[in-house]
């Protein structure tokens, strides 16, 4: 009432019966009220709230958050807001994943690739990458200045039956040598780590190597980011070939296989999860729309249960087609997400030059776009 305008006389001074008094109440205009102050009825005009325009996408995010917390005990909400708390993935009312979930970390040890033993580090790298070129391995292990030594080591390991190599056809120039673990070495490493063999048994077919190497480029950028920016810690990474061996079930007969997933920790206080999709300008609208719809379903609980995080960004990394392809993908995404505006902010689309992913610029430069939004974003926005 403070700041409102009131009348000195009672609005009921001239009423003769109860019916007339009721009509005064029923005929009150909008933003008017009758209040009782010091046993005197006063007619006042209340303060009004200005009309505001809220973007549908933002409103949908608020509605999703409200719906998720509506049946959540207050004690859990308060615990989730505490900086020292762990992410609790309740089976009750799992909300849509979000790109950033501040002040939340899950238990786990960082993933280490560099031990100082070149042979061990090469085996570990190939176990996680499945296929890699000499340049990718040197970049991953910070041995670009000793590339000839690494090449010699790989050749010795090949002679010992631990690794093997192949190539794929190129239109010009010498085809790159692509390294991979032998089946025996793959099984030995998996057994020593207590992990399942990350590829099905049988003879290697070496299919889709160009796509696999693009996935390995993403892996190298993800794994080496903490080397160039100490704010980050690598907690986990899964290559597309690893994920393919345990495809994620979305619904009956529908499965999802991201082209990579990374779990980064920022400043030891926030966990960040990113799923990657390599786009080489080969898939048509129908397949892209289906993939986006699968990711929306994935983000509503399947992701949280599979990877143990609530933070999720879905990055479509365009390696062919440039900005024109990015615009096309954004258009298709906006059509697919028109009924799921709250999920739109999870998706990012950006183009890169194949084989030229520098981790700091790839993750931290604002070169990605999100549906229904013209603001450029980084994969990880930092202060």
For the chain, give every domain's residue range.
Answer: 5-45, 118-377
Nearest to 284 by CA among 341, 325, 248: 325
Please say whether the beta carbons of 378 and 365 come within 8 A. yes
For the cut 50, the answer to whether the pLDDT of residue 82 exceeds it is: no
pLDDT at residue 63, rounded to an integer: 66
User: With the CA atoms of 66, 72, 77 and 80 taken in that order, what torsion angle do they form, in degrees rounded to the nearest 10?
Assistant: -100
pLDDT at residue 357, rounded to an integer: 87
Average the pLDDT over 314-329 and give the result.
97
pLDDT at residue 311, rounded to an integer: 96
Q: What is the 3-state secondary structure (H, E, C) of the chain?
A: CCCCEECCCCCCCCCCCHHHHHHHHHCCCCCEEEEEECCEEEEEECCCCCCCCCCHHHHHHHHHHHHHHHCCCHHHHHHHCCCCCECCCCCCCCCCCECCCCCCECCCCCCCCCCCCHHHHHHHHHHHHCCEEHHHHHHHCCCHHHHHHHHHHHHHHHHCCCEEEECCCCCCCCCCCEEEECHHHHHHHHHHHCCCCCCCCCCCCCCCHHHHHHHHHHHHHHHHHHHHCCCEEEEEEEEHHHHHCCCEEEECCEEECCCEEEEEEECCCEEEEEEEEEECCCCCHHHHHHHHHHHHHHHHHHHHHHHCCCECEEEEEECCCHHHHHHHHHHHHHHHCCCCHHHHHHEEEEECCCCCCCHHHHHHCCCEEECCEEEEECCCCCC
pLDDT at residue 181, rounded to an integer: 94
Label residue 104 by pLDDT band (50, 70, 90).
confident
In tens, the pLDDT along 256-276 reads: 999 999 999 999 999 999 999
Average the pLDDT over 51-60 and give the result.
65
For the cut 60, the answer to whether the pLDDT of residue 93 exceeds it is: no
Label residue 203 by pLDDT band (50, 70, 90).
very low
In tens, the pLDDT along 153-181 reads: 999 999 999 999 999 877 778 888 999 99
Query: Which one of 102-116, 189-203, 308-322 scores highest in mean pLDDT?
Result: 308-322
Instruction: Give the residue with greater pLDDT, 128 vs 10.
Output: 128
pLDDT at residue 69, rounded to an integer: 59
pLDDT at residue 233, rounded to an integer: 96
pLDDT at residue 194, rounded to an integer: 65
Average the pLDDT over 88-117 and give the result.
78
Find the range with the poorest average confidence among 18-27, 105-114, 285-294. 18-27
Alpha carbon distance 283, 305 (integer Å)? 29
R_g (Cα) of the chain, nearest Å: 29
pLDDT at residue 8, rounded to an integer: 59
Label residue 90 by pLDDT band (50, 70, 90).
very low
Please say whether the beta carbons of 143 and 121 come within 8 A. no
The pTM of this model reads 0.73
Instruction: Give the residue with greater pLDDT, 24 vs 83.
Output: 24
* Alpha carbon distances (Å) from 74 to 33, 69, 77, 102, 207: 34, 9, 5, 18, 52
- Two tokens, residue 240: 């597309």
Count CB atoms within 10 A of the CB of residue 129: 28
Average pLDDT, the chain: 85
Please say whether the beta carbons of 158 and 164 come within 8 A. yes
Residue with tokens 């000839």: 148
pLDDT at residue 190, rounded to an integer: 79
Burial of 182 (0-12, 13-18, 19+ CB in 10 A): middle
What is the phi/psi pair of residue 23, to 5°?
A: -65, -35
pLDDT at residue 28, rounded to an integer: 77
Instruction: Give the residue with greater pLDDT, 239 vs 69.
Output: 239
Label residue 121 by pLDDT band (50, 70, 90).
very high
For the cut 50, the answer to whether the pLDDT of residue 360 exceeds it is: yes
pLDDT at residue 202, rounded to an integer: 43
Instruction: Give the residue with greater pLDDT, 188 vs 279.
Output: 279
């Amino acid at each position: 009432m403070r700041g409102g305008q009131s009348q000195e006389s009672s609005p009921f001074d001239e009423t003769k019966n109860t019916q007339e008094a009721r009509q005064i109440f029923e005929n009150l205009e909008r933003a008017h009220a009758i209040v009782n102050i010091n046993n005197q009825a006063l007619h006042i005009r209340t303060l009004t709230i200005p009309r505001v325009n809220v973007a549908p996408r933002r409103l949908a995010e608020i509605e999703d958050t409200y719906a998720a917390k509506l049946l959540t005990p207050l004690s859990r909400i308060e615990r989730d807001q505490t900086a020292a708390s762990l992410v609790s993935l309740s089976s009750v009312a799992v909300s849509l994943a979000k790109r950033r979930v501040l002040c939340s970390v899950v238990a786990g040890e960082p993933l280490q690739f560099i031990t100082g033993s070149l042979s061990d580090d090469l085996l570990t790298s190939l176990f996680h990458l499945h296929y890699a070129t000499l340049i990718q391995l040197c970049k991953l292990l910070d041995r670009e200045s000793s590339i000839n030594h690494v090449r010699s080591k790989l050749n010795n390991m090949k002679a010992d039956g631990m690794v093997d190599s192949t190539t794929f056809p190129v239109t010009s120039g010498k085809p790159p040598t692509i390294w991979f673990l032998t089946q025996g070495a793959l099984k030995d490493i998996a057994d020593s780590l207590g992990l399942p063999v990350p590829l099905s048994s049988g003879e290697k077919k070496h299919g889709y190597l160009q796509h696999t190497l693009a996935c390995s480029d993403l892996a190298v950028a993800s794994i080496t980011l903490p080397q160039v920016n100490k704010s980050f810690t690598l907690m986990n990474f899964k290559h597309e070939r690893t994920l393919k061996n345990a495809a994620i079930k979305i619904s009956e007969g529908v499965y999802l296989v991201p082209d990579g997933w990374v779990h980064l920790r920022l400043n030891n206080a926030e966990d960040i999860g990113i799923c990657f999709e390599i786009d080489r300008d080969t898939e048509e609208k129908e397949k892209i729309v289906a993939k986006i719809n699968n990711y929306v379903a994935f983000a509503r609980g399947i992701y949280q249960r599979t990877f143990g995080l609530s933070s999720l960004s879905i990055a479509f990394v365009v390696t062919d087609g440039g900005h024109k392809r990015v615009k096309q993908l954004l258009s298709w995404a906006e059509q697919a997400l028109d009924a799921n505006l709250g999920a739109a902010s999870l998706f990012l689309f950006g183009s890169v030059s194949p084989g030229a992913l520098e981790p700091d610029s790839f993750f931290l430069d604002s070169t990605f776009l999100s549906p229904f939004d013209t603001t450029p974003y980084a994969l990880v926005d930092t202060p």
